[in-house]
Amino acid sequence: MPVLWLVLIVFALGALGFVLGRRRALGGAGGDIRLLHSLPSYYGTNVALLTVVPALFLLGIWLLVQPIVVDAKVSALLPDSAISEGTTRDLVMSDVRRIAEGLDKAVAEGAMTHAQARDIRAEFTDVRNRLGAVGVALGSRVGAPELFAAQRYRRIAGEGSLAMTGAVLALALGGFALSLIRTTPSFRARNSVETGIRYVLIFAATIAVLTTIGIVLSLVFNTIDFFRLYPAWDFFFGTTWSPSFGGGSDLGILPLLWGTFYISIIALAVSVPIGLFAAIYLSEYATPHVRAFAKPMIEVLAGIPTIVYGLFALLTVGPLLLKVFGQDGVGLMQAGTAVVTAGLVMGIMLIPFVSSLSDDIINAVPQSMRDGSLGLGATRSETVRQVVLPAALPGIVGAILLAASRAIGETMIVVLGAGAAANLSLNPFEAMTTVTAKIVSQLTGDADFASPEALVAFALGMTLFVITLGLNVFALYIVRKYREQYE
Amino acid sequence: MTDVPFTDASSGPARPARTGSLLEADARTRRRNAAEARFRLYGIAAVGVGLFFLAALLYAIFSNGIGAFQQTGYTLQVEFREDVLDKTGNRDLEDIKSVKTFAYSPLLRAAMLREIETHGIDTPLADAKVTGFSSPLDKLFSDGARSTLRDMVLADPSLIGQTVAVRILASSRVDGYLKGRVSRESIERDKNLDAVHLDLIDKLRDAGVATKGFNLAFITGPDASDARPEQAGLGVAMLGSLYMMIVVLLLSLPIGVAASIYLEEFAPQNRFTDIIEVNISNLAAVPSIVFGILGLAVFIQFVHLPQSAPLVGGLVLSLMTLPTIIISTRASLKAVPPSIRDAALGVGASKMQAVFHHVLPLAMPGILTGTIIGLAQALGETAPLLLIGMVGFIASNYPDGAISGFLAPNSAMPAQIYEWAKRADPAFYERAWGGIIILLLFLMTMNIIAIILRRRFERRW
């Protein structure tokens, strides 16, 4: 694990820097702490920071960039003839990477020497068998161009790693030396350390932005790849969803969107009345004792992982509904996994979400408004209906929108409880599927990532991301606008 | 001042004079009171329905899952026959290893027949014929029972030639029968067990040979293949979750606290800060499956980290937990009164010193509470783990050390539960519910720690 070692070495240098920096500052002041600008430990920290932070930063960037550069270089070496009919350059490159990893492993386990791994020729050696012996299974016979590319890959990657080790160590040592030289009693070590820490803090804060950028980029690039293979019009307006991994599949999003919205609507129809009335009762009627018991109990529902709800839908609610509405009962339902099953269970999951958000909003309505209404002779329910709720309405709408965005993005309940067939139907007792469930099923199969059947998951993810983001932004806007009114 | 004659204030349409007693409510008041009572009832009903759902959920979990903590087995006197296990008689470990697992079947059958004989049980299975390598008696035992015996012998070759009392796992159908999951009706369509077996099981139970015992292997053991639900355990997946949580804690706590300190204490009011803040509040609402897509595209496809590794799972969950931690950390930093900062600055501390030496320690209980709650969320999260490949295989290998713990393919508790829920054999459902009980125990413990921390250390200013 050379990277781990590299990190450890850098940290060891940093620790050494701390000790030396501190000693040098104290030594420069002749041991009299009053002659120093900053406390001695700041001089040490300054050296340690300048040693560790830039070096690790470089290491991180290098690790991210190197695979791209190496891939591009090796990919350019592959002749077009090496890419046979039915595969793509990306697929061949992934074979090349596997061969390279296999060679690395063979060397690590002593099955090959470095020279052998560098020089073997596919014409003379059965590379597949040799690598199979160390537990690296390769799909097909290793051809000469692939093996040659893999050897080049190893060489370039090896050179890159060596250069990286050199550069990182040089930067660490440079920072170490520079900051140690600058360590004099009059050096403003505290200011320097604080500026450094400030940059570290800023970097931490930008990670949230980087995450968003990562999400958007990974969705956008793969979605573009998908639309190159499959027309966007058919994706957005197609009414059949029947992926077949052999090719020639229909990938229309409409049945999935319909399933998503249908299940969400049922979930909201369950959770909004229950959650809202529970919030009204708990904030306007309940005695402190009842509130202290019931509120946390309902919120327990929010702390239960979604996999539990999924299992509840699949194994408890589904069979129960089947008993009532199935062949032996009303005769509407074919199987336990259906839109109502998922909708009902998702509704249960959302009750605490709606109730605690509404509770906050109802509590934010000023007491004077209630007092005014009660003073005019209105009953409590009239006060709630005619004064409190209208005042809280924008906030409650915001809460419902947030709940809707939760419902649309929910995965485990629909994966386990809603079924797998994509249907455009009005019958809530039928199995339907959703955007999230199909993302899971398209990406957990054995499809290769270059096929439209796998790439469609990214287009689905993009759609999901845009819808939930839109709902959230809108909901937060409404809630914020409302909050300002009474503060 | 002129006397103005009092005019009737309600000079609108005159209301009919009130008839009847003041003590008796009129129709309109009664209607309003009824509406009031109804409204109140709706509220009570809503709270009741919420509590009912909670009770139903917990009941379903415990009534279905408690069975996973018990497992049926037989206490048998197994004779490790030398003529089967070590024909040469030289106790050479290589020779003993060359004896395949299925060679242990006759030992199991003989031990069972001996029990049947000593307890005087009358069953047609007692003289069942061995056809090929299998006998109807085999259906009583777990598929893994033979390899348990083999492992015993390989660990201690001196057992050969002795007769030892061994607890042998029953097959999952037998286990289901004793737990009431498998009935005589359901067995008719099942070729894994016949009615004669059930008769025998009834008698073995009465004789005390077939007993249910605490199932430690479920908590600590590895997962088992489709054919052996009786051996499946959550142990390896728990380790996977543990390694993931280590990654989440090490990444999201420092990064989250650093980001919150910057945003709360240092960030100037400008565009950049606004972008970060909007970003964080939106990230908190991004569906978890999208984080799974991010993990797949960035960590696996782009950086080529190993698939199914707890490290990747931990990275994805860290990014997901980050907003939660940032939001709660900012709240607890905000709760520290400005007078603390002013006092520190007043005696000559720098801004950085004021924050790190005074504000942060005071905010620590709140930060830890938020972190624990974030970790609990991450522990129960499943969807992103599906996309980075932590399902679809049998998590049967314990990691050999810290590095392989982070990098070797593993499952995680919720992913393992999902895996069991998808398998065909209903015996796995019991495991899934049992896994949920364990998962919920972890979550409950974490939340209780968070509550205690908050009660014990949080200060009101």
What separation in angstroms does the CA of A204 have from each of A347, B70, B257, B262, B326?
Answer: 37, 48, 9, 8, 11
Could you tell me which residue, B376 or A66, shows the higher pLDDT? B376
Residue A317: which of A326, A305, A330 has the closest Cα?
Answer: A326
DSSP H helices, A238-317, are 254-280, 288-303, 306-312
Average pLDDT of the segment spanning A327-345:
83
Q: What is the torsional sign of CA A91, A96, A97, A99?
A: positive
Instruction: Give the domains, in start order, of chain A with CATH numbers.
Output: 2-200 (no CATH), 241-486 (1.10.3720.10)
Range scoring the smallest mean pLDDT among A329-338, B120-129, B360-369 = B120-129
CA dihedral (A94, A95, A97, A100) in degrees, to 10, reads: 180
pLDDT for A447 equals 62
Tens of pLDDT, residues A286-300: 999 999 999 989 989
pLDDT for B206 equals 80
Distance CA A235, CA A217 (A): 20
On chain B, the residues whose CB falls within 8 A of the CB of A476 are 281
Is A273 in the B-facing interface, judged by CB distances under 8 Å? yes
User: For B321, which residue in chain A has the nearest alpha carbon?
Assistant: A208
Average pLDDT of the segment spanning B391-398:
79
pLDDT for A85 equals 60
Is the pLDDT at A1 greater than 70? The verdict is no
pLDDT for B5 equals 52
Range scoring the smallest mean pLDDT among A39-48, B128-137, B258-267 = B128-137
Residue B334 inside a domain? The answer is yes
Closest Cα of chain A to B390: distance in Å?
10
Distance CA A58, CA B230 (A): 51
Closest Cα of chain A to B419: distance in Å?
11
pLDDT for A409 equals 92
User: For A436, which residue in chain B has the nearest alpha carbon?
Assistant: B289
Is A91 in the B-facing interface, judged by CB distances under 8 Å? no
On chain B, the residues whose CB falls within 8 A of the CB of A95 are none
Range scoring the smallest mean pLDDT among A165-169, A326-330, B32-36 = A326-330
Average pLDDT of the segment spanning B252-268:
93
Residues B311 and B440 in one domain: yes
For helices B235-261 and B360-380, the axis angle rounded to 10 degrees is 140
Residue B103 inside a domain? The answer is yes
pLDDT for B67 equals 85
Q: Which residue reads 């056809």 in tokens?
A: B131
Q: Give the total number of structural domains in chain B.
A: 2
Residues 323-352 on A with a CB inside 8 Å of B are 348, 351-352
Residues B297 and B161 in one domain: no
Residues B298 and B341 in one domain: yes
Residues 6 or more apart in contact with residue A107 via CB below 8 angstroms: A113, A114, A117
CATH of the domain at B320: 1.10.3720.10
Residues B189 and B261 in one domain: no
pLDDT for A83 equals 67
Partner-chain residue, chosen from B43, B283, B383, that has the shortest CB–CB distance to A278? B43
Write b or e for each residue in A236-256: b if 16 or more Cβ atoms lie within 10 A of its Cβ, otherwise e. Answer: eebeebebeeeeebbbbbbbb
- Percentage of chain B surpassing pLDDT 70? 95
Sheet with strand B210-214: strands edge to edge: B163-169, B70-79, B210-214
* Phi, psi of B284, deg, nearest 5: -65, -20
Is the pLDDT at A90 greater than 80? The verdict is no
The amino acid that residue B144 corresponds to is: G
Tens of pLDDT, residues A114-139: 777 777 776 666 666 667 666 666 66
Could you tell me which residue, A146 or A404, shows the higher pLDDT? A404
Residues B377 and B275 in one domain: yes
Under 8 Å between Cβ of A225 and A388: no
Residues B158 and B83 in one domain: yes
Partner-chain residue, chosen from B281, B376, B421, that has the shortest CB–CB distance to A311? B421
Residues 108-147 on A with a CB inside 8 Å of B are none
Q: How many residues does chain A have?
A: 487
- Percentage of chain A surpassing pLDDT 90? 39
Residues 413-452 on A with a CB inside 8 Å of B are 415-416, 436, 439-440, 443-444, 449
User: For B388, which residue in chain A has the nearest alpha carbon?
Assistant: A444
Residue B194 inside a domain? The answer is yes
On chain B, the residues whose CB falls within 8 A of the CB of A201 are 258-259, 261-262, 266
Give the 3-state secondary structure of residue B212. Answer: strand
Under 8 Å between Cβ of A321 and A333: yes
Q: Are strands B163-169 and B70-79 parallel, antiparallel or unpaired?
A: antiparallel
CB contact under 8 Å between A411 and B288, yes or no, is yes
The distance of Cα B268 from the centroid of its chain, to the nearest Å, equals: 43
Distance CA B192, CA B190 (A): 5
Could you tell me which residue, B228 or B17, shows the higher pLDDT? B228
Closest Cα of chain A to B30: distance in Å?
12
pLDDT-derived band of residue B1, with 50, 70 and 90 as boundaries? very low
Highest averaged pLDDT of the listed ranges A70-79, B13-22, B158-167, B235-244: B235-244
DSSP letter at B284? T
Is A306 in the B-facing interface, judged by CB distances under 8 Å? yes
Closest Cα of chain A to B259: distance in Å?
4
Residue B327 inside a domain? The answer is yes
Tens of pLDDT, residues B55-82: 999 999 999 888 888 888 888 888 887 7
The domain boundary residue, chosen from B214, B246, B275: B214
Chains A & B: contacts with CB separation below 8 Å? 261
Residues B325 and B187 in one domain: no
Largest interatomic CA distance in chain B: 134
DSSP letter at B223? P
Partner-chain residue, chosen from B56, B275, B382, that has the shortest CB–CB distance to A412? B382
Residue B408 inside a domain? The answer is yes
Residue B163 inside a domain? The answer is yes
CB contact under 8 Å between B266 and A201, yes or no, is yes
Is A222 in the B-facing interface, judged by CB distances under 8 Å? yes
Average pLDDT of the segment spanning A311-322:
90
User: Structure pTM?
Assistant: 0.88
Is the pLDDT at B15 greater than 80? The verdict is no
Residues B199 and B241 in one domain: no
Partner-chain residue, chosen from A209, A408, A410, that has the shortest CB–CB distance to B275? A209
Partner-chain residue, chosen from B45, B262, B292, that has the shortest CB–CB distance to A205? B262
Tens of pLDDT, residues A359-401: 988 888 889 999 999 999 999 999 999 999 988 888 888 889 9
pLDDT for B73 equals 85
Tens of pLDDT, residues B409-421: 888 999 999 999 8
Tens of pLDDT, residues B276-298: 888 888 888 899 999 999 998 88
Is A218 in the B-facing interface, judged by CB distances under 8 Å? yes
The domain boundary residue, chosen from B214, B248, B281: B214
Residue B181: which of B170, B196, B166, B167 has the closest Cα?
Answer: B170
pLDDT for A413 equals 92
CB atoms closer than 10 angstroms to residue B93: 11
Interface probe with B: pick from A46, A105, A277, most Cβ of B within 10 Å: A277
Residues B243 and B166 in one domain: no
CB contact under 8 Å between B414 and A305, yes or no, is yes
Interface probe with B: pick from A207, A284, A349, A455, most Cβ of B within 10 Å: A207
pLDDT-derived band of residue A141, with 50, 70 and 90 as boundaries? low
pLDDT-derived band of residue A280, with 50, 70 and 90 as boundaries? very high
User: For B431, which residue in chain A has the nearest alpha carbon?
Assistant: A311
Distance CA B251, CA B407 (A): 16
DSSP string, A121-141: -TTTS-HHHHHHHTT---SSP
Is the pLDDT at B14 greater than 80? The verdict is no
Residues B200 and B283 in one domain: no
Could you tell me the two tokens for A201?
Answer: 């803090």
The domain boundary residue, chosen from B148, B183, B214: B214
Range of the domain at B88: 71-214
On chain A, the residues whose CB falls within 8 A of the CB of B439 are 305, 307-308
CB contact under 8 Å between A468 and B383, yes or no, is no
On chain B, the residues whose CB falls within 8 A of the CB of A301 are 50, 53-54, 57
DSSP letter at B128? P
Tens of pLDDT, residues A240-266: 888 876 667 788 889 899 999 999 999
DSSP string, A59-73: HHHHHHHHHHHHHHH
On chain B, the residues whose CB falls within 8 A of the CB of A300 are 54
Is A7 in the B-facing interface, judged by CB distances under 8 Å? no
CB atoms closer than 10 angstroms to residue A338: 29
Burial class (CB in 10 A: 0-12, 13-18, 19+), B345: middle
Residues B261 and B304 in one domain: yes
User: For B320, which residue in chain A has the nearest alpha carbon?
Assistant: A211
Distance CA B384, CA B55 (A): 29
Residues B164 and B286 in one domain: no
DSSP string, B60-93: HHHHHHGGGGEEEEEEEEEE--HHHH-TT-S--H
CB contact under 8 Å between B32 and A379, yes or no, is yes
